[in-house]
Amino acid sequence: MDDTKSTEKSQRLLPDHFRAYFWDSRFTGRELLDWPDHTIERVLEYGQWKDVRFLRQIIGDEAIRKVVKSSRRLSPRTANLWAILLSISRREIRCFQKPFHPIPAG
């Protein structure tokens, strides 16, 4: 394996203290590699600032911006904070959109 790819992959492994954000599953440290959107949501929603900074250094603000815009699992409070921090219009954030409820066929 190329050393650059190996280093890049190892930098995406999460430190053991991130285990607290994955209380409902078996923590492997590979969550950011295996479930990036879910991992970003968890850290934004429950993480400490030091962990958010760690995540931002590894994946960058553009990846966080994408998740904030597309996620329905972020709380409105968390989404609003990131809208302000990353200059995202609330109209672009999915969790602020009115939920779609199909009309039942009758």
pLDDT tens digits along 32-68:
999 999 999 999 999 999 999 999 999 999 999 999 9
What token pair was written down for 41? 């949501």
Q: Round the average pLDDT of the chain to a whole number and report it.
A: 87
What integer pLDDT is reported at residue 6 of this predicted model? 42
What integer pLDDT is reported at residue 94 of this predicted model? 93
The average pLDDT across 11-39 equals: 91
* Under 8 Å between Cβ of 64 and 31: no
State whether the Cα torsion 77-47-14-35 is positive or negative: negative
Domain layout of the chain by residue ranges: 29-93
**In this model, does residue 4 exceed pLDDT 50?**
no
**In this model, does residue 100 exceed pLDDT 60?**
yes
Could you tell me the pLDDT band of residue 104, with boundaries at 50, 70 and 90? Answer: confident
